[in-house]
Structure 1
């Protein structure tokens, strides 16, 4: 039994370059264009049976529009929200400090900002949702509309990368990745089919 899960990152939000965890900025005009450009090739004959998404509007508004256009069901899953950046939430790289931010990208386990969600806790939150998705949509092809850190966590787990290295995976706005999960009755075997396609 083969399960296929496509991972679509949201497009560019309004408000410019800044860290957004719980900050609920909507997609910008460019962000909407990026998203439609990515999925355009699939609209005539959508491969997905269902869409799941983060509750933040930069994901959920597009998921709702796509579901309506492609005649698909969709579900908002609160646990798919972005990682919290704590005291950095809503701040630009200049406000945080380029050196401090570079340390975090290099090793988020060691250099996490104050009051942020730890990478270990975030990883567990996302993997719990992932396990439910694999159970609920076994043998189907679904689309997950989410965030950069969320997609990095899933790819890192598929590729068996250490958690401190997740930000070494580039996940551009509105990029699409695909994970294939082969269930042969034992532990599912997951592999990356493609990454960051636009």
Structure 2
């Protein structure tokens, strides 16, 4: 006899304290027959809208279920009418931040294996608690720790004023009814979606933006050989070429005279590049752990061709999903995006309305640009970023961001 197909229930939620604002999601996978909790997941995702956080929760819940059994059938239960109706195909997905998330969610399981059900907020307390644990962790400058979670135990208690639901309902009235996933949503309003539309043309003066000038470190001996060089490898120093590049960018930035602070990844190549620039500008260097490069696991020090030869299946998975990790316990791009977004929010709070030089690596720079553009995760593979290149992103008081520069290397040609 054929074994009965396993059935999971995925409950997911997300919230934003500000809409957009500091955001997080939570998701739980349960056995449909016993109700037993099989997996919990949550994450602080930096600045986002309620709806984006809800979609991120859905995506995380589906991925967690797939890790348990890729052949299972899944019932998704959420208190977001918007997500349920859009994923069920009854409402169109208009907002550009949500379309790629919805598309990715549809690829986790075959469409016929997943059904969606709207539930009242009171029936989604477990996921709500997880989302709030993630947001609370983000407020402390940390990521959610599953070992310290009490969401399942607390789910039976009434939702507190600090919950994702409360945070949603406290959002400015201008966000509209769709910003909260509460009971009795107005379907017409939710179709319009909660995320504020990008400003087009001239708008009110929002004051001086916070600007990140993003500098990729200079060359190391591994750079011209195109070897994976992340957080888990040999931590190489700058080469002679890299030191000349650092000096060149220092002169260029000194001539512009706009940098007010310097922060850098803890890795040696960034510290050396930052030190050269900071000395020229008469500034000190502050280390920001969240700006370090991806940990490439067992791929550290290898070329792309060597990885393709030794770990072809892992490499293919990594190239097709930002949730995939390199061989040997490295970091997924999804994980890196979480910590980079957290570092971004910390720096925005610390250096409001100032221009900051952030000396970092390929992945963090591309991630900050991607997040500013609202581009899909796989856009990381479509950006070129040279050693010692400059990029820039300006962040405004209304939550919008503007990419001002990408991969500028003019200072290296003089």
The TM-score, its normalising length taken from structure 2, stands at 0.44
Give the corresponding residue for 1:77. 288
Equivalents in 2 of 1:39, 1:107: separation in Å? 37
**Residue 91 in 1 paired to residue 302 in 2?**
yes
1:181 to 376, 386, 395: 395
Per the alignment, residue 147 of structure 1 pairs with: 361
User: TM-score if structure 1 supplies the norm length?
Assistant: 0.89
Alignment of structure 1 residues 8-157 onto 2, 5 Å: 8-15=215-222, 16-22=225-231, 23=233, 24-44=235-255, 46-97=257-308, 100=312, 103=316, 106-109=319-322, 112-114=325-327, 115-157=329-371
Per-residue displacement from partner, 1:104-126 (whole Å, max 9, x unpaired)? 67434265422121121111100
Return 5+ residue gaps in structure 2 as ranges: 1-206, 410-414
SS state at 2:244 partner: helix
SS in structure 1 of the partner of residue 211 of structure 2: strand
* Alpha-carbon distance in structure 2 between the residues aligned to 1:71 and 1:64: 10
Aligned-partner SS, 1:18: coil
Instruction: Give 1:172 shift.
Output: 1.0
**CA-atom RMSD, angstroms?**
2.1
What displacement does 1:19 show?
0.2
Partners of 1:42 and 1:152 lie apart in 2 by: 21
Distance 1:165 1:107 in 2: 11
Q: List alignment gaps of at least 5 residues for structure 1.
A: none
Say which structure, 1 or 2, has more relative contact order (CA 8 Å, 6+ apart).
Answer: 1
Equivalent residue in structure 1 for 2:405, among 185, 194, 197:
194
| Segment of structure 1 superposing worse, 108-117 or 165-174 | 108-117
| Structure 1 residue 102, shift from structure 2 partner | 7.3
Separation of aligned partners in 2, 1:105 and 1:35: 31
What is the rounded CA distance, in whole Å, between the counterparts of 1:112 and 1:164 in structure 2? 14
